[in-house]
Structure 1
Amino acid sequence: MTLPAPKLDDLTWADMMAAIRRRIPAESDGIWTLHAPVDPGVTLLELFAYLLEQRLYWLDQVPDTLVVAVLRLLGLEPPRPAVPAATVLRLSARRPDTAVPVVPAGTTLTRDPMGRVVFTLDDDVTVLPLAEDGEVTVWTDRDRTADLRAGRGVALLAGDGGAAEARFTLPLAGAEPAPGPVSLLIALDAPAAAVPSWLPGAVSDVPPPAGLTWSWFRPDTGVSGPFEKVEDGTGGLRRSGIVRLHPPAGWTTEDRGVLVSTTAATYAAPPRLTRLAVNVSAARHRREFTAQAVDLADQVHAWLKLPGQHLVLPDAAGRLLDAAVRLDGDEWLPVPDFTFGAPTDRVYLADRTEGAVVFGDGLTGRIPPPDTEAVVGYALGGGRDGNGGLTANWTATDDTPVELGAVTAANLVRAEGGEDPETVDAARQRAAGSLGEVTRAVTADDYVTLARTTPGVAVARAYAALGEHAGFPCTQVPGAVTVHIVPAAPRTDLGREDFTAAPQPDPGMLRAVAARLDEARLLTAEVFVRGPRYRDVALRVDLSGSPADRARVSAVLAAALRRFLDPLVGGEEQDGWPFGEALRPSALLRAAQRALGDLADVAAVAIGLDGADPQEDCNEVPLGAGELPVLRSVRTRIVAVVEPGEGLA
């Protein structure tokens, strides 16, 4: 439980004076007899009580600087600065007569007529010519373009561990060479834990689920070849991201086919493509500026050898994100506060409200000398102002290079992730909440929590088997822990063709979880990370009477029992069949009857495990620790109706 915050300011002046007056006779051995306010001694006691009351009040008023210092002392983040929103822009540019235009990284565009909300491109964009009314075509086992066009999504690579490939034909026109990389937005129907690569919460170092090869081909001739370099922002199709394909010499827009293939599609579930677009780049609500020495000279000349010096940056009030300061050629370092600074440390902090950089007081942080040459590079933006919906009215700012001509853009995804600076009170609440976070793996629940919260991968469930050792399967090994994890997989439609009934974690997910648990484990613990052990289940359901529509009854029954035994949405709580829980005919009968309702009466359920025929048995079928069932078949059988009392002598 969380302890209540102590209140130190709980003693009033009147309470103190009452307590003091009661102690006067004893402390003075009865000599002090006049305790009225007219007595000078009582007047002094009242003054001291007044001063003590003020100091008790101050004890409850913790200054912001102390809160920030305590957070840093505890190893927690100080109040977080503003975060810029991010989106993906698809660019269009007036094409020169000579070459395909390249819009350089750092180009600024705005959707705001006043030009206050400005986004900056992360990468160069080669604006390749597009065919009018052209569209991306997708081919896996057959032409899937209609599915993509209708928004149903396309399962690209099967997750069965075998070789697989997917082909895209980009809507490029002409026979133009590419002076830069081909940039593609690959939008996937991925779990929320797999944050898209352009958003602030994305994790960059997660191992890919499968090794991919990207190559190009010419649709009409079949000529093909590899790309010289691939920058895969999807992490191997684990999440939505931007893929930058660097074509070889001689490549033209006639070679508009893209082939992605793998020799081992080890995905937990096939990655599902929802959108593919060309000529794109991530963009962030951030704009870079530089204040030169001449711009800051008046402020620097006014400095004295006194604490609290600061530099107000042009047009930065309320919008300052960060700054880089150089004084007389020496680089000064940013800090969240001056608490741990020494008198000689060249440090400063960025004040977003004032739009200034602030220097130390000579005790915690050096005082900059007067008449120094100051150069400050700084960025403006961030905050919730950058968040917004889909618009197609993005235009280049006035300082866009003239040779690019008219640059316009449309954002293909919502601008998200922008956050205002965190207040000190919010940081205190976050720190209080973080005290309950699991950071060390001691108990079985700790292993489960850490596995499920591994950044960058979507682990839906986990089970820690204490004493289970991968090398000694039949013996309990002290200090060994095997964590079985189940990855997230789509469960909206258990009957679609790419449904994965028994999801297994991909190799990258296993490595990511293992690395997290290795950092958190106790020194003497030996940790293994594995997928669940699935046991094939076959059921026979006996129905009494004669259902009117046996085909419908069989379909409803199979769907209900498949969901009931599902590793992710099964069980009575619908959060996945519990690891190692036995299969009970009574529980299956109850689930079957609940699904059928008045369609039919369920007389009995027989269970078969690992390919065995379902047998008439009233006993439960046990599962081992770390094991889960997966329903492979359901067979229905009509039996005679047994009337109550029938067969009795």
Structure 2
Amino acid sequence: MLKLPHLDDRMYTQIVEEARKRIPTLTDEWTDQNAHDPGITLMELFSWLIEMQQYHLDQITSKHERKYLKLMGMIPQPAQPASVDVFLSGVDRKIFLPQGTKFGARDQIFETLEEQWLLPVEVDKVLVWSKGEGVDYSIANDHVGSTYFAFGDKAEKGNRLYLSFQSELPVNEIVRLSFSLYESYPVSMIRGKHDPVAIPPGRISLFYYGRNNDHGTDWLPVVVEQDQTNHLSYSGSIDVKLPTQMVSRTVHPADDKKRYWLYAQVDQSGYELSPRIDKLEINTVRAQQTETVCHYQNFSSTGQGNQAFLLKHYLHTYGKLDVQVYEEQGWRDWCCIQSASEGAGEENTYELQEVPHNLKQLVFRDDHHRRVPEQGRNNIRVLAYESSNSEAVWLGRSNGLPYQRFELPRKGEGTYLQRIEIQVGFKEIETNEWIWQDWIRVADFDQSGLNDRHYILDPEGKFIQFGNHEQGLIPPKSEERNIRITFLQFGGGERGNIKSGVLDHIIVPTQQAKAVNEHKGKPLKIGGNLEGSLGQVTAINFYDARGGQEAESIEAAKKRLLNRLRQPTRTVTNSDIEALAKRTPGVRVARVKAIPLYVKGLQNYPQEKVAGQVTIVAVPFSEQELPVPSTGFLQTIKQHLEPFRLLTTQLHVISPEYIKVSVYAVLVVDPEVKDTGRVMDTLHTLLNPYDHFGEEGWDFGKAVTKAEMISHISKVSGVVYVQDIWLNGEGGGTVKNSNGDIVIPPHALVYSGQHDITLIGRQEL
């Protein structure tokens, strides 16, 4: 049954009548409302146009709306998968964890995003050295939510964070330290995937205690391979490598026994927010709420014999494999053999070998007349898919007709298709062998030509559709199945935002896993037992998974489009500059002020101005009373604004000047007022750069006047009136005018000094 459009229920006569009823409310002079009146004629004409317009607008379908959104450069976002850090404990030996390892969270599956080695070491002690003394935070590190400062509350230069281990870390191998920092501040930090890395506010270096080149022992620098935390500016991991062997020793106050130590030291201070650690661990992996059914990986051939490629994905070890080599027309399937003697006489063959740590190795030999893939970039492809879903990756055969549709495999209600890639094959006439070609998924066929290998996916991910040979090539007709999936992944949705502790086990094959490659009907058995390799390893998520979103609706996409259109893309006005500066990735900007035609040090502004100059005053979010931005903070904002800058404008990003203002006042109060507490609270709230909940404080460059102080003090309960008041200001560029008001520079903010308030009871006058 066709879905009828929802037509507007107002008919032409109703529109006319509603308009006629509004005439008396709009004008008293229009008294002739008969049909011969020209105004009534025009009203009927526009009512007729409105009725037609409403009808045609109601015929717009979701397909039309998607086209309109595409014209505006906006495509509804697909469902996004949630991600979470998974901590693995009970590691008793070095274990390789392949990419795609599956974890169970009730009825949901999470997969690791990258490969990682698990090490039989755990963080034993956590010490923080600041202000000349050390404090043991080992217990706090064991409990999520018990945060502690990594380098003290001010992260001053020379402060240290010591980590100890019961056993030594391996030499010349990657060790991943995972830091979960407290980040629930009122001012959030924007962290986009493709945003440039922010310049860190401070810098740290790492050292370990081990053997030096003179065969002695000393604190030696650690080789940092990767730092996702940007010097502990936010949560992430630091990959380190130790050049020499560690040596045990004692470190106060954990001097009960010798341990293996590593420490991080602040080399450059300036953190607006001192790094506060919630959890620090080893053997933590990042997992995403996805389920990969089919996966492929490409390798580059050198063209030489006896090439070997290590296969390190989960499905490589525990799934079915096919190997393809790219030639002139497309991808050609190669055959798997178990030994050199078995493959004698066949050219396109390869071997699969078992290697340590439960991995496989793909080998191409050049003996016994066997071929080796020619030299090329990414011209070797290994397809891997679950053995239980080996038939699901075949979509079917092409009948050679236009607009063919093929239904896709499903994973149950509430599960989204995350990624799909396909191949279409044809048989080579000379050899009668299959040649496979990759086809590209496009949003629609609008830009597709008659030779473009394109296909589209319906919005709900239920089927794919091919073109008509005018817009998009038709797959070649075949009597056998010639359309197959090369990459298939499910996941996404809000259901993936699981709570802490829900992810609680590793999904392992129930029996000895078998990777089966069909070669003339002979199955090749490659052993692999994930359960056996992991031993007693357990998994748990200490934090809630985040980032899972449902597929964006058309209405949500339209709202996002409107929001995007409202966002400035050039620094034309002051508000444009301020809005862009507040969206700087990697920093927390609490307040920002753009001052046009001004540079720091300019006197008598705004009477005197400097052409082509704009000064941006930025205040970072901080737990300190007077937030002082670091050099990295200011440079990060400037580099973010640079692409948006007008060519004729030069931007300067500076820190604010803080002016201390003290108020001396004599107040007449009611008899019940015994102290100055409420008046002091009012002044401290008023004379504040910003409060620590992200709200605005005193305006930049705004003079502190006696009149405004009197106005606010007079509103305090119990204050009858202000008998007398004096103001005093301290700071660069401060001027006290003839009225006794404090005039401050345009880039300055004020804060409370020592106020002196004298109370006089009304009965004493």
TM-score (norm 2): 0.65
| Preserved contact between residue 582 and residue 589 of structure 2 (Cα < 8 Å) | yes
Does 2:533 align with 1:384? no
- Greater fraction of residues in strand: 2
**Mean CA deviation greater in 598-607 or 441-450:** 598-607
Amino acid aligned to 1:579? F
Q: Which residue of 2 aligns with 1:422?
A: 552
Does 2:620 align with 1:487? yes
Once the two structures are superposed, the pairs formed by residues 468-487 of structure 1 within 5 Å of their partners are 468-469=598-599, 475-487=608-620
Q: CA separation in 2, counterparts of 1:175 and 1:161?
A: 28
| Preserved contact between residue 311 and residue 357 of structure 1 (Cα < 8 Å) | yes
> Residues 298, 162 of structure 1: CA spacing in aligned structure 2 closer, same or farther, 3 A cutoff?
closer
> Residues 255, 530 of structure 1: CA spacing in aligned structure 2 closer, same or farther, 3 A cutoff?
farther
Deviation string, structure 1 residues 391-425 (Cα, Å, up to 9, x no partner): 16521112472322243211121111101111222
Q: CA separation in 2, counterparts of 1:301 and 1:181?
A: 49
Please report how far the alpha carbon of residue 194 of structure 1 lies from its aligned counterpart in structure 2 after TM superposition: 5.0
| Preserved contact between residue 303 and residue 370 of structure 1 (Cα < 8 Å) | yes
Q: Which residue of 2 aligns with 1:39?
A: none
Does 2:259 align with 1:126? no
Does 2:444 align with 1:440? no
Q: CA separation in 2, counterparts of 1:295 and 1:206?
A: 48
For residue 609 of structure 1, the aligned residue among 729, 744, 749 is 729
**3-state DSSP of counterpart to 1:425:** helix
Q: CA separation in 2, counterparts of 1:639 and 1:122?
A: 68
Please report how far the alpha carbon of residue 366 of structure 1 lies from its aligned counterpart in structure 2 after TM superposition: 2.8
Please report how far the alpha carbon of residue 383 of structure 1 lies from its aligned counterpart in structure 2 after TM superposition: 0.9
**3-state DSSP of counterpart to 2:159:** strand
For residue 244 of structure 1, the aligned residue among 219, 234, 239 is 239
Please report how far the alpha carbon of residue 265 of structure 1 lies from its aligned counterpart in structure 2 after TM superposition: 1.2
**3-state DSSP of counterpart to 1:213:** strand
> Residues 321, 588 of structure 1: CA spacing in aligned structure 2 closer, same or farther, 3 A cutoff?
same
Q: Which residue of 2 aligns with 1:105?
A: 99
Q: CA separation in 1, counterparts of 2:704 and 2:404?
A: 72
Q: CA separation in 2, counterparts of 1:601 and 1:156?
A: 50
Q: Which residue of 2 aligns with 1:325?
A: 422
Q: CA separation in 1, counterparts of 2:194 and 2:642?
A: 22
Once the two structures are superposed, the pairs formed by residues 357-372 of structure 1 within 5 Å of their partners are 357-371=464-478, 372=482
Amino acid aligned to 2:653? V
Amino acid aligned to 2:285? S
Q: Which residue of 2 aligns with 1:301?
A: 397
Q: Which residue of 1 aligns with 2:648?
A: 524
| Preserved contact between residue 657 and residue 731 of structure 2 (Cα < 8 Å) | no
Amino acid aligned to 1:509? F
Does 2:688 align with 1:569? no
Once the two structures are superposed, the pairs formed by residues 201-600 of structure 1 within 5 Å of their partners are 205-217=197-209, 223-251=218-246, 256-290=260-294, 295=391, 299-310=395-406, 312-313=408-409, 315=411, 318-327=415-424, 328-351=435-458, 353-371=460-478, 372=482, 374-391=484-501, 394-399=504-509, 401=530, 402-469=532-599, 475-490=608-623, 500-540=624-664, 561-569=683-691, 575-588=696-709
Q: CA separation in 1, counterparts of 2:721 and 2:52?
A: 78
**3-state DSSP of counterpart to 1:234:** coil
Does 2:166 align with 1:173? yes
> Residues 569, 299 of structure 1: CA spacing in aligned structure 2 closer, same or farther, 3 A cutoff?
closer
Q: CA separation in 1, counterparts of 2:671 and 2:218?
A: 59
Amino acid aligned to 1:377? F
Q: CA separation in 2, counterparts of 1:152 and 1:246?
A: 29
Percent of pairs identical after alignment? 22
**Mean CA deviation greater in 373-382 or 471-480:** 471-480
> Residues 461, 137 of structure 1: CA spacing in aligned structure 2 closer, same or farther, 3 A cutoff?
same
| Preserved contact between residue 97 and residue 117 of structure 2 (Cα < 8 Å) | yes
Q: CA separation in 2, counterparts of 1:536 and 1:188?
A: 31
Amino acid aligned to 2:418? L
> Residues 104, 454 of structure 1: CA spacing in aligned structure 2 closer, same or farther, 3 A cutoff?
same
Q: CA separation in 2, counterparts of 1:309 and 1:348?
A: 10
**3-state DSSP of counterpart to 1:569:** coil
| Preserved contact between residue 702 and residue 744 of structure 2 (Cα < 8 Å) | yes
**Mean CA deviation greater in 477-486 or 508-517:** 508-517
Does 2:59 align with 1:73? no
**Mean CA deviation greater in 182-191 or 160-169:** 160-169
> Residues 186, 511 of structure 1: CA spacing in aligned structure 2 closer, same or farther, 3 A cutoff?
same
Q: CA separation in 2, counterparts of 1:160 and 1:464?
A: 29
Q: Which residue of 2 aligns with 1:44?
A: none
Please report how far the alpha carbon of residue 455 of structure 1 lies from its aligned counterpart in structure 2 after TM superposition: 3.0
Amino acid aligned to 1:165? N
Amino acid aligned to 1:529? V
> Residues 355, 408 of structure 1: CA spacing in aligned structure 2 closer, same or farther, 3 A cutoff?
farther
Please report how far the alpha carbon of residue 502 of structure 1 lies from its aligned counterpart in structure 2 after TM superposition: 1.9
Please report how far the alpha carbon of residue 85 of structure 1 lies from its aligned counterpart in structure 2 after TM superposition: 0.4
Q: Which residue of 2 aligns with 1:184?
A: 178
What 5-or-longer segments of structure 1 have no aligned partner?
Answer: 1-6, 17-52, 491-499
| Preserved contact between residue 213 and residue 260 of structure 1 (Cα < 8 Å) | yes
**3-state DSSP of counterpart to 1:263:** strand
For residue 625 of structure 1, the aligned residue among 736, 746, 753 is 746
| Preserved contact between residue 102 and residue 110 of structure 2 (Cα < 8 Å) | yes
Q: CA separation in 2, counterparts of 1:630 and 1:319?
A: 53
Q: Which residue of 2 aligns with 1:45?
A: none
Please report how far the alpha carbon of residue 123 of structure 1 lies from its aligned counterpart in structure 2 after TM superposition: 4.6
CA RMSD of aligned residues (A): 4.4
**3-state DSSP of counterpart to 2:570:** coil
**3-state DSSP of counterpart to 1:212:** strand
Q: Which residue of 1 aligns with 2:130?
A: 140
What 5-or-longer segments of structure 2 have no aligned partner?
Answer: 1-5, 16-50, 211-215, 249-257, 296-321, 323-382, 384-389, 425-434, 510-528
**3-state DSSP of counterpart to 2:754:** strand
| Preserved contact between residue 120 and residue 287 of structure 1 (Cα < 8 Å) | no
Q: CA separation in 1, counterparts of 2:259 and 2:221?
A: 11
| Preserved contact between residue 190 and residue 583 of structure 2 (Cα < 8 Å) | no
| Preserved contact between residue 91 and residue 119 of structure 2 (Cα < 8 Å) | no
> Residues 196, 93 of structure 1: CA spacing in aligned structure 2 closer, same or farther, 3 A cutoff?
farther
Number of residue pairs matched? 576
Q: Which residue of 2 aligns with 1:47?
A: none
Q: CA separation in 1, counterparts of 2:649 and 2:737?
A: 44
Q: Which residue of 2 aligns with 1:19?
A: none
> Residues 161, 625 of structure 1: CA spacing in aligned structure 2 closer, same or farther, 3 A cutoff?
farther
Q: CA separation in 2, counterparts of 1:308 and 1:480?
A: 61
**3-state DSSP of counterpart to 2:562:** helix
> Residues 175, 528 of structure 1: CA spacing in aligned structure 2 closer, same or farther, 3 A cutoff?
closer
Amino acid aligned to 2:476? P
Please report how far the alpha carbon of residue 438 of structure 1 lies from its aligned counterpart in structure 2 after TM superposition: 2.1
> Residues 634, 217 of structure 1: CA spacing in aligned structure 2 closer, same or farther, 3 A cutoff?
farther
Please report how far the alpha carbon of residue 357 of structure 1 lies from its aligned counterpart in structure 2 after TM superposition: 4.1
